[in-house]
Amino acid sequence: MTLQEFNEILDFAIDREKEAVQFYRDLQIEAHFADQKAFLQELESMEMGHIVMIENLRKKQPVEMEIKQVPNLLISEYLVSDVDHLNLTYQNILIKAMKREEMSMKLYTDMSRKFPDSDLHILFSKLASEEAGHKLKFEKLYDEWISKGN
């Protein structure tokens, strides 16, 4: 892989993370409660941390890459897939966020498989794990909300 190809892959990942940051900023505008906004701000901050992680790889700075195994409740996989047209009720914010994290997790998992035995494999595996963790948080919130009879 050439240096240019390596940088293009990192640019792709950074662009994806910037989209996630903007997604959570936009949801904060739509959120109705302070605790929802605080949670979305926390996720925005995590996505910004991913950008730093990717840039550190570009600079060849050591990056802690503990890759956690995250359980998958599979809630988002059984929900509506066309989330762009949902009105932004609390339930739909959770669905929209779950679906976004699900797609990011799948993308990074696929990218990690394209670069076995490399720093990119480790980076994309770590990002996939992080996105799976975000998805799990939303799935738990959704499950809790639904179990309360909403």
**CATH code at position 89:** 1.20.1260.10
CB atoms within 10 A of CB 65: 13
The per-residue pLDDT for range 29-38, each reduced to its tens digit, is 887 778 888 8
Residue 90's pLDDT band (cuts 50, 70, 90):
confident
First to last CA, the chain: 51
State the residue range of the domain holding 73.
3-147
Q: What total number of domains does the chain contain?
A: 1
**Burial of 7: CB neighbours in 10 Å, binned 0-12, 13-18, 19+:** exposed
**Burial of 95: CB neighbours in 10 Å, binned 0-12, 13-18, 19+:** buried
Model pTM score: 0.78
99 pLDDT above the threshold of 70: yes
